[in-house]
Amino acid sequence: MTGTRLAGKTVLVTGVGQGIGRGTALALAKEGAQVVLCGRTKSKCDAVVGEFESFGGVGLSLACDVANRADVDRTVAAAVEHFGALDGLVNNAAGSVHRLLADTTDEDVD
């Protein structure tokens, strides 16, 4: 661990398998946060947790599709059970709907 600004805080980060999500999870862990890493492919989350070992970071890897409410509920419950609480969320996972804005429904953006 290189910093302590987030020591004692637990942050859930979605979409951590690569790119911005991976970088965010690593940065949070380097500042002392306990990081709950979730993504659709658990092996990618596991790999990022493995990177934490090089600097003493603490992480919990969980499979979660944020488009599935049951997955989200299960992930939050597992995170709270493991760490006691959640202090923050970085919702990096994203999806997209391919249609004209005029044809977009409330369900598309919910």
On whether the CB atoms of residues 22 and 48 are closer than 8 A, the answer is yes
Residue that wins the pLDDT comparison between 102 and 1: 102
Residues 21-65: tens digit of each pLDDT: 999 999 999 999 999 999 999 999 999 999 998 999 999 999 999
41 part of a folded domain: yes
Model pLDDT, residue 22 = 96
pLDDT given at position 13: 98
Q: What are the tens digits of pLDDT across the range 12-23?
A: 999 999 999 999
pTM of the predicted model, to two decimals?
Answer: 0.85
What SS3 state is found at 59?
strand
Domain containing residue 90? 17-94
Which amino acid, residue 110?
Answer: D
Tell me whether residue 11 is in a domain: no
Residue 89 in domain:
yes
pLDDT in tens, 58-97: 999 999 999 899 999 999 999 999 999 999 999 998 766 7
Is residue 48 one of the residues assigned to a domain?
Answer: yes
CA dist list (Å): 57 to 6, 28, 33, 54: 11, 9, 8, 8
pLDDT of the residue at 57: 94
53: left (phi over 0), alpha (psi -120 to 50) or beta: alpha
What is the tally of structural domains in the chain? 1
Q: Is residue 51 part of a domain?
A: yes
User: Chain centroid to CA 85: how far?
Assistant: 15
* 43 Cβ contact partners less than 8 Å away, ≥ 6 residues apart: none
Confirm whether 69 is domain-assigned. Answer: yes
pLDDT of 1: 58
Residue 5 within any structural domain of the chain = no
Q: What angle do CA 76, 80, 41 make, to 5 degrees?
A: 45
CATH number at residue 87: 3.40.50.720
